[in-house]
Amino acid sequence: MQQVTQIMANLQEASSSEASRPPAFNTQSMKALEFFDGTQPFKVRSFIQSCQIIFHNDPGNFSQDRKKFLYATSFLIGRSAKWIEPYLSIPTHQAPNYLLKSWTLFGDPDEVRKAEAELDGLRMKKGGHVLLYIANLRSLVSRI
């Protein structure tokens, strides 16, 4: 009976100490990337942002550009996978960071011009929310 009491006390102590610690947040528990096929230019920015969130969340696993490159590449399909195929044989000592940046080739070629035009026309609507205006402003500025 004393052993049962001791086990119960240990379980209670363990559960109370776990409750006081913040939950572990790692890549495995995050939403997986959506596959990117390169046919819809407006999705490239979202794909790259999703990659960056995962890389920043787990810097231990993604401490090298090569690891980032290989992880993101595993979610490419269709024409984007065909485009990246020749680069998979690059020696591991060469950083493929330029390839991650070049994925914007699948994006809108007029993205900067369109963002500038939208920025010129951006107005705070009467009765509008300032946070929505600021979010739109920051999004457009990030594209220029």
Cα gap 136→122, rounded to integer Å: 8
Q: What confidence tens digit (pLDDT) does each residue in 36-53 have?
A: 888 888 888 888 889 889
Cβ–Cβ under 8 Å, residues 73 and 36: no
Contact call for residues 77 and 37 (beta carbons, < 8 A): yes
Quote the pTM value.
Answer: 0.56
Which distant-in-sequence residues (6+ apart) come within 8 Å of 97 by Cβ?
65, 68, 69
The model's confidence at residue 102, banded by pLDDT at 50, 70 and 90, is low
